Chain A
Amino acid sequence: MRYLPLTNSDRGAMLSTIGVGSIDELFSELPSGEPDFNLPDCQSEISVERAMNAFARENLSCSDAPSFLGAGNYRHHTPASLDHLIQRGEFLTAYTPYQPEISQGTLQTIYEFQSQVALMMDMEVANASMYDGATACAEAAAMACRVTKRSRVLMSGAVHPHYRDVTQTQLKHLNLEIDCLAPDPIGVEDLIGRVDDDLACIVVQNPGFFGHLADLSQLAEACHAAGVLLVACVAEPVSLGLVTPPGAMGADIVVGEGQSLAGPASFGGPGVGLFATQEKYLRQMPGRLCGETVDADGRRGFVLTLSTREQHIRREKATSNICTNSGLIALAFTIHMTLLGEAGFTRLAEVNHANAVTLANKLSAIKGVTVVPQTFFNEFAITLPRAAAEVAEALASKGILGGVPVSRFYPRYEELANVLLVTATELTTDGDMDALVSGLGEVLS
């Protein structure tokens, strides 16, 4: 039992200091009789590694296959120094920075994270992060209702279906009305026409779930004229290196998923929720915030601040029940952004877009395949002549992870059965694209 330092002689000495005869006596308040568990005893590292490797081998890793998967979870290159730095024990094994004198490392990284997120979104303030993009979206909708004192939320059909589902679940008991429009692959839904003055917010996503890019400026104007907040989701933050950010188009709250810049998909979790807004809404914002101050000697330092919004102070009156952020994943995100810098971030986004354009051209040359959105960043929907789920399965049997069938999210929409989401990133090679093109050709012939 390599994780337990006490020896039997330590235990004996400690029990006699306490004045009891055995460890069992310490548990005399528990129901008597030891439960019977059908579980194995302790194992060596070697044995645990073997078992874990067996699980791993049954999966087809994206590192072993041309992969075009996205749908809110993107595979990008992770610089070697990033994974090294987040494994430093002083970051990895620290708690929430409640004692700022011995947590300046974590606190300064959060402050830098908040600064980077605000800049990327073109917003005034960002928080220290939330669980993931979907929960951040739900928190944004709830916040918009608090700010406007209205109770109706309208969600665009271009918002990630999980964001829509989580928002509906999380807000269902708050006497709010959540309207989700039908899925909108080509960006034709009329949002401006639905603005009215008892709506709290409209939630949109850019790039949309199906890839489409939208200019939000006119929608934002219409919203503001009616006292409605515009909430924009960004599921692929790499896009912000090239695409006009929601803040510059008038969004009031911008949320997103930071996973794509933080590291591998890890089967979808943990991620890191991004949350940014304007300063005037600060007191209604959920989640932790780190702020600058000075210490007793007048030197700059950082602390968690404005915690009077939070559950440990406000209890049932808090802005949210959340008491953690996604610290380590936020750290990975901020380190990657620092490694990239302005030049690297822009270049990364350009390479993603260029590869996606190339892929779109190659795919649209295949008979029966149509690229759906006119505009996109690194991901777009295509329609196939047959069910996308079957095609994805057939491609997987050829060792190609060819895309995400939309039916996985919208099984009840028959008109979406043939729609596949396809992504290209800086990791996508010409060889990968050729493999997909020839694989699709074979599967569809």
Chain B
Amino acid sequence: MTDRTDIETTSGNRGLSFEEPLIFEQDSPQSTAVDLEEPSHDIDRLGGLRRRSAVGLPGLSEPEVVRHYTRLSQKNYSIDTGFYPLGSCTMKHNPRLNEKMARLPGLGDIHPFQPESTVQGAYKLMYSLATWLKELTGLPAVALSPAAGAHGELCGIMAIRAAHQAAGNDDRKVVLVPESAHGTNPATAAICGYSVESIPGNGNGRVAVDALKARLGPDVAAVMITNPNTCGLFENEAKAIADAVHAAGAYFYMDGANFNAIVGLVTLSELGVDAMHINLHKTFSTPHGGGGPGAGPMVLSDALAPFAPVPFLVHDANGLRMAEHAGDKDAPQSFGRMKGYHGQFGVFVRALAYMMSLGIDGLRQASGDAVLNANYLRVRLSEELTPSYDGICMHEALFDDRFLKDTGVSTLDFAKSMIDEGFHPPTMYFPLVVHGALLMEPTETESKATLDQYCETVLALARKAKRGDMAEEFLSAPHLTPRRRLDETQAARKPILRWKPEPLKHAAE
């Protein structure tokens, strides 16, 4: 550390890095950033339920509010600012055309319960999105309404359970999930009333197909497999797995979290898939927004399509209309409703704008570039890091912590030191099947120059760690961020989850 980083400032600010108090600490009672006219009268039809005490919200003017959030935004890493190789998350560029389109008054400022004759354009847009998704996956039906990937999983497993119930097979109580799966898979199966059994890997990062086949039987309802899987590898025996699953009377669920590697290159119908959710916020570029909103449409095979949740679009002589009631003639076997209104329409607009922009040729090129970028990282970083599996990967490259053996530096320390270099760390400690995982997903929207700079930086860090006398610098990283490492143990042991006015705070202590 040079002396310069140790300079103490009076304000607490450090150049362009500002300290920003809570809104509650900037309260000027009676201030507001929204001027509204006085109510036209004060006749009250609240039936005596008028609020008796103040809410307790702070008052700020517009300039104060704008500065508050602008300063806070500057404490965030983002895909706009830098490289974000977060494995499994597909942090690709978010085109601003998508934002502009979602804000057209005819798309943004429409209400879900307008008469259907006044929203035919919205229905056509949803129908167009559905057509793209069905075409790209080769499956005949899609339920658009799930709000996120995990919600899509829930949709798929509920459809599977409904299909088993309709066939009188509800005694199937087990869902098989590989040990490398995302945590949402077992959580979803459990919510659908299934018990979850883990299937081991084959030692090469893929599902042990023999073990899977051996476990199939009359008690198995479904198999959930992520493909490409969380080790960044294509499950090349997917079709054989699907055939075995079907022969055993179960359904094959594919987790589409990693669809970005294979869009336009393979269809799910070829792979024997019955259901897959598509993360529009990953594969189709809609912004992650600091943790949502996403959208997780579910494509379904012919066998599962009748059980799709409402709402969905139906064609008739007057154009498109929405089937909104499970059990009605439009949706006699639907398993129900999962989401208010018609799904994440604003996300649909953005995803469709992206698909139309790239087109099928661009989507195919994007998958190719995503996989090319990941393999480039894999090969270049193998000079110092330890890849978990040999050979070509898909859109993400998995490393483990063997290269850090005996250095005193952990995966976490190594990742935190990447922050000081201006890079977002990769996904750490996931998947659980390798020790100290670092899972890197560069996506297709990064230039070779960015990848080269990242590789040179990570290689230099690895060499530094291996020198053996620099561990302390890693253990205390990051040093150059608005905050250093945060005490997560204290946060969990004594939870402080909201601001409280002073008297309350004392009372609580």
Contact = CB atoms under 8 A, between A and B. Distances in A.
A226 interface: no
Contacts of B386: none
22 contacts: A3-B366, A30-B262, A40-B356, A42-B361, A48-B353, A52-B353, A79-B62, A89-B81, A99-B425, A100-B483, A106-B76, A173-B161, A174-B193, A245-B51, A267-B111, A268-B341, A270-B346, A303-B491, A316-B186, A316-B196, A335-B69, A396-B118
B265 to A, nearest CB: 6
A85 B70 contact: yes
A131 B148 contact: yes
A10 B447 contact: yes
Contact of B36 (A17, A25, A326, A351): A351
Interface stretch (B92-100, B245-253, B400-408, B462-470): B92-100
A327 B359 contact: no
Contact of B345 (A63, A269, A354, A358): A269
B487 A293 contact: yes
Contacts of A53: 104, 106
A3 B371 contact: no
A293 B125 CA distance: 45
Question: 10 tightest A-B contacts by CB?
Answer: A268-B341, A56-B106, A328-B289, A58-B121, A89-B80, A268-B112, A169-B336, A327-B291, A375-B47, A173-B193
A118 interface: yes
A133 B51 contact: no
B448 A45 contact: no
Nearest to A276: B498
Interface string A301-340: 1110110101111111110111111111101000101111
B424 interface: yes
Contacts of A385: none
A39 B132 contact: yes
A119 B109 CA distance: 29
A6 interface: yes
Contacts of B289: 91-92, 94, 327-329, 331
Interface in B119-169: 119-122, 124-125, 128, 132, 135-136, 138, 147-151, 153-154, 158, 161
A266 B46 contact: no
Nearest to A348: B36
Contacts of A131: 147-148, 151, 292-293, 339
A35 B430 CA distance: 32
A200 interface: no
Interface in B323-343: 324-326, 328, 335-343
Interface stretch (B22-30, B211-219, B298-306): B22-30
A101 B80 contact: no
B314 interface: no
B184 interface: yes
A14 B448 contact: yes
B150 A324 contact: yes
B341 A162 contact: yes
Contacts of B7: none
A67 interface: yes
Contacts of A325: 291-292
Contacts of B56: 119, 342
B186 A93 contact: no
A35 B419 CA distance: 41
B436 interface: no
B94 A244 contact: no
B360 A6 contact: no
Interface centre among A45, A90, A101, A325 (most CB of B within 10 A): A101
Contact of A13 (B42, B233, B448, B478): B448
A374 interface: yes
Contacts of A242: 46, 50-51
Contacts of B487: 293-296
A168 interface: yes
Interface stretch (A107-115, A145-153, A190-198): A107-115
B290 A331 contact: yes
Interface string B281-298: 000010111111111000
Interface residues on B, range: 35 or more
Interface string B56-100: 111110100110111011111111110010100101111101011
Contacts of B49: 213, 215, 243-244, 375
A121 to B, nearest CB: 10
A5 B154 contact: no
Interface in A84-137: 84-85, 87-106, 108-109, 111-112, 114-116, 118-120, 124-126, 128-129, 131-135
B110 A269 contact: no
Contacts of A269: 112, 147, 293, 339-347
A297 interface: yes
Contact of B107 (A52, A90, A94, A328): A52
B32 A343 contact: yes
Interface string B187-226: 1111111011000000000000000000000000000000
Interface centre among B287, B352, B360, B483 (most CB of A within 10 A): B483
A348 B368 contact: no
A323 B288 CA distance: 13
Contacts of A175: 193
Contacts of A335: 65, 69
A67 B72 CA distance: 36
A174 B158 CA distance: 12
Given A52-B107, A90-B78, A299-B483, A173 B192 contact: yes
B3 interface: no
Given A101-B481, A321-B154, A26 B419 contact: no
A392 interface: yes
B44 interface: yes
A69 B492 CA distance: 43
Given A335-B69, A341-B59, A353-B46, A271 B483 contact: no
Contacts of B483: 100-101, 104, 295, 299, 301
Interface centre among B89, B328, B371, B491 (most CB of A within 10 A): B491
Contact of A303 (B48, B84, B488): B488
A178 B4 CA distance: 64
Contact of A90 (B47, B76, B291, B415): B76
A368 interface: no
Nearest to B56: A119
Interface residues of A, number: 206
Given A173-B192, A321-B150, A20 B107 contact: no
A355 interface: yes
A387 interface: no
A407 to B, nearest CB: 11
Interface centre among A62, A129, A315, A317 (most CB of B within 10 A): A315
Nearest to B116: A393
A227 interface: no
Contacts of B191: 170, 173-174, 320-321
Contacts of B100: 49
Contact of A6 (B346, B448, B485, B498): B448
A94 B14 CA distance: 23
A324 B293 CA distance: 8
A305 B486 CA distance: 11
Contacts of A360: 45
Contacts of A129: 292
A172 interface: yes
A163 B326 CA distance: 14
B16 interface: no
Interface in A264-300: 264-272, 282, 288-297, 299
Nearest to B343: A269
A324 B445 contact: no
Nearest to B206: A29
B110 A62 contact: yes
Nearest to B291: A327
Interface centre among B20, B52, B114 (most CB of A within 10 A): B114
Contacts of A63: 105, 109
Contact of A102 (B50, B55, B58, B424): B424
